[in-house]
């Protein structure tokens, strides 16, 4: 990540993310998932997400469908779809996430399962 932007990096138990751009109609994040870690199973009511893989290997769960992820692949997550992202390799999984919709706050997360007790 950009060393001069350390204050913008948000640490999470599974890795970290950095907000790259934010506007009234979209938000863009750079997400890094540590090896053998995964995000919570969650959904968002007010936003869609598009994940583009920059580096690493992982898997995405969107509703009941799993998608393999590798550099150059992408997956779309519609609003209200339950989803999860995990790293299946020994290297960091790096994702560019583009959010579109009506609201992009972190409080628009409903968690259904979490490895880190955040339910």
Helix/strand/coil percent split, the chain, to 5: 5, 55, 40
Tell me what pLDDT residue 7 has: 59
In a domain, 10, yes or no: no
Domain that residue 88 falls in: 15-112
Average pLDDT estimate for 102-119: 94
Number of domains into which the chain is organized? 1
- Whole-model pTM above 0.85? yes
Mean pLDDT value across residues 71-87: 98
Residue 27 lies in a domain: yes
Domain annotation covers residue 118 = no
CATH value at residue 24: 2.60.120.10
Vertex 46 angle, CA 44 and 49, to 5°: 65
- Single out the residue of 8, 99, 101 nearest to residue 46, CA to CA: 101
Residue 119 lies in a domain: no
- Would 34 be classed as within a structural domain? yes
> Is the pLDDT score of 5 beyond 50?
no
Write out pLDDT tens, residues 28-73.
999 999 999 999 999 999 999 999 999 999 999 999 999 999 999 9
């Amino acid at each position: 990540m950009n060393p001069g932007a350390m204050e913008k990096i948000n640490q999470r138990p599974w890795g970290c993310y950095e907000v790259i751009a934010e506007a009234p109609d979209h938000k863009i994040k750079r997400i890094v998932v540590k090896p053998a870690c995964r995000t919570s199973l969650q959904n968002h009511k007010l936003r869609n997400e598009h994940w583009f893989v920059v580096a690493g290997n992982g898997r995405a769960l969107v509703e009941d469908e799993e998608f393999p992820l590798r550099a150059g692949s992408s997956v779309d997550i519609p609003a209200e779809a339950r989803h999860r992202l995990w790293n299946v390799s020994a290297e960091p999984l790096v994702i560019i996430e583009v959010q579109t919709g009506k609201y992009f706050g972190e409080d628009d997360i409903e968690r259904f399962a979490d490895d880190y007790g955040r339910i």
